[in-house]
């Protein structure tokens, strides 16, 4: 919401926004639409009381909320984006690769890693206790069950990295894990506990996407 305001609202109060970001890591933090609007002079969300009142958001913000709440919605959104870019590519004779595009814009996207199985195994406490070299490898373990170095040893002749070979379902879950990990970090949760939580979330979301017959029809 803050980025949207910074891009579209010259009167946005960035100083107050910085204060809200700092407080958002607290478990006791809460933020109502009214407080957000009054504190930061936000325009992307409108909140009115009364019979015909309610809280309404610009579609950019609404899409982000829906993507955060539903992996299925994010999947539909990405597939529609892919379809539109394919249509544009055909008209303009452009080369477009959705997976490479997602790879370029995602957090620590060029880490060497690749899936062995679509669904990762559930990690044990002992496996999670290993200290990994980076947050990127923590995400690799949560989603793919191995670090970048392990994959490289097992696939010494392979080209590319995990984002080049991942399915659309895995890319959707990866972007969700990156966002969730950022929240867990801000809450001061240890890496071992974050890894266990993210691993369970990855398994749950992949099962949901893979078992959704409506999503299969989009492929």
Give me the pLDDT at residue 46, please: 92
pLDDT at 94 over 60: no
What mean pLDDT value characterizes the chain? Answer: 79
pLDDT(142) > 80: yes
| CB 134 within 8 Å of CB 191 | no
pTM attached to this predicted model:
0.47
Calpha distance 10→42 (Å, rounded): 10
Tally: H helices and E strands in the chain: 13, 2
Inter-residue contact 193 to 129 (CB < 8 Å): no
**Residue 57 — pLDDT band, cuts 50, 70, 90?**
very high
**Cα–Cα dist 45/32, whole Å:** 11
Q: Where is average pLDDT lowest: 32-36, 125-129, 165-169, 188-192? A: 125-129
Residue 199 confidence (pLDDT) above 90: yes
User: 54 phi and psi, to 5 degrees?
Assistant: 145, 180
Q: Which helix (H) or strand (E) holds 7?
A: helix 2-8
Confidence of residue 59 (pLDDT cuts 50, 70, 90): very high
* Beta carbons of 93 and 133 less than 8 angstroms apart: no
Percent of the chain with pLDDT over 70: 79
Confidence grade of residue 36 (pLDDT, cut at 50, 70, 90): very high
Least confident of 12-16, 99-103, 197-201: 99-103
pLDDT of residue 216: 54
């Amino acid at each position: 919401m803050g980025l949207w305001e910074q891009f579209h609202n010259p009167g946005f109060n960035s100083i107050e926004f910085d204060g809200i970001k700092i407080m958002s890591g607290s478990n006791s933090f809460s933020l109502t639409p009214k407080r957000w609007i009054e504190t930061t002079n936000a325009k992307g969300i409108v909140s009115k009381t009364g019979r015909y009142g309610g809280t309404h958001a610009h579609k950019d913000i609404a899409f982000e909320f829906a993507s955060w709440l539903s992996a299925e919605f994010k999947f539909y959104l990405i597939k529609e984006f892919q379809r539109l870019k394919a249509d544009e590519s055909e008209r303009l004779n452009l080369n477009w690769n959705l997976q490479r595009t997602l790879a370029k814009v995602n957090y620590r996207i060029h880490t060497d890693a690749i899936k062995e199985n679509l669904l990762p195994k559930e990690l044990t406490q002992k496996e999670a206790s290993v200290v990994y070299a980076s947050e990127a490898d923590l995400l690799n373990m949560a989603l793919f069950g191995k670090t970048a170095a392990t994959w490289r040893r097992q696939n010494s002749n392979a080209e590319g990295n995990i984002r080049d070979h991942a399915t659309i379902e895995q890319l959707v879950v990866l972007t969700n894990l990156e966002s969730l990990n950022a929240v867990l970090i801000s809450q001061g949760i240890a890496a071992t506990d974050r890894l266990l939580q993210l691993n369970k979330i990855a398994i749950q979301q992949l099962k949901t996407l893979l078992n959704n017959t409506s999503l299969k029809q989009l492929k």
